Amino acid sequence: MGQSHSELDDEVALTHIQELYRKFASECPSGNLHLHEFKKIFGISSDSTEEESAYMDNVFRSFDANHDNTLDFMEYVAAVHLVLRGKLEDRLRWSFKLYDRDGNGHLDKKELKQVVKIIYNIKRHGNPSETDNLTPDQITDRIFDLVDKNKDGQISLEEFMDGAQKDQWVLDQLKLDVRPCGWFLEQQRKNVEEELQRKNNK
């Protein structure tokens, strides 16, 4: 049957995770990582798109377990492990938390649309054909039609998990949050290229 991990997951080897741990130690000897440092580790700089920056804002917030606007080493380790190695179900739970900005355990259309918009713009920036010619409003409405089983205008964690696992289109709309390995590897590749360019220009 083969491995259940995708090829991208296989590419994200232990060395990538070790590299991120090493970066944590060098970027924040104090042991606390601030948002700007977190973005730097993941390759988000002033020339990154607004959408990529907003995506990482959400990622950072979702891992800041004690809401002190910093990540300690344990929060960071949990973040790196989940983003790069977590099971689909764990990533879906995390995605739900990422979307649920007010933390009430339900997603309304406004919350869902905020993140759909970020993902839509990143996809459009990277590969316009991935956006299906639907607007963020249309994508949000369609996700609600497919996932909000009791039609109460809110999506519970159970509905979210069920919908994303049963419907490939829904999963595809959320996949930057659910499976960001490809995005992460792309950032790593850019970092290596920029580093080489800097060395060559010296």
Provide the residue range defining the domain that includes 30.
10-201
pLDDT at residue 7 greater than cutoff 70? no
Residue 129 lies in a domain: yes
Q: Which of 27-36, 87-96, 106-115 has the highest mean pLDDT?
A: 106-115
Tell me the average pLDDT of the chain.
Answer: 76
Highest mean pLDDT: which range of 22-36, 41-55, 126-140, 180-194: 22-36
In a domain, 2, yes or no: no
Give residue 145's pLDDT band: very low, low, confident or very high (50, 70, 90): very high
Q: What does the pLDDT read at residue 63?
A: 82
Residue 5 lies in a domain: no
What global pTM score does this model have?
0.61
102 within a domain of the structure (yes/no): yes
Of residues 93 and 43, the one with the higher pLDDT is 93
Beta bridge partners of 33: 71
Q: What is the CATH number of the domain that holds 100?
A: 1.10.238.10
192 pLDDT more than 90? no
Q: pLDDT confidence of 156, banded at 50, 70, 90?
A: very high
> What pLDDT shows up at residue 175?
64
Report if residue 4 sits inside a domain.
no
Q: Read off the pLDDT of each residue in 52-61 and give the average, rounded to a whole number.
A: 79
Bin 132: left if φ > 0, else alpha if -120 < ψ < 50, else beta: left
Please tell me which of 43-57, 107-121, 141-155 the model is most confident about, judged by mean pLDDT.
141-155
Q: How many structural domains compose the chain?
A: 1
Whether 167 maps to a domain, the answer reads yes
Q: Is residue 41 part of a domain?
A: yes
**Residue 120 burial (CB < 10 Å; 0-12/13-18/19+)?**
buried
| Distance in angstroms (rounded) separating the CA atoms of residues 101 and 105 | 9
The answer to whether residue 3 sits within a structural domain is no
Q: State yes or no: pLDDT of 10 exceeds 80.
A: no
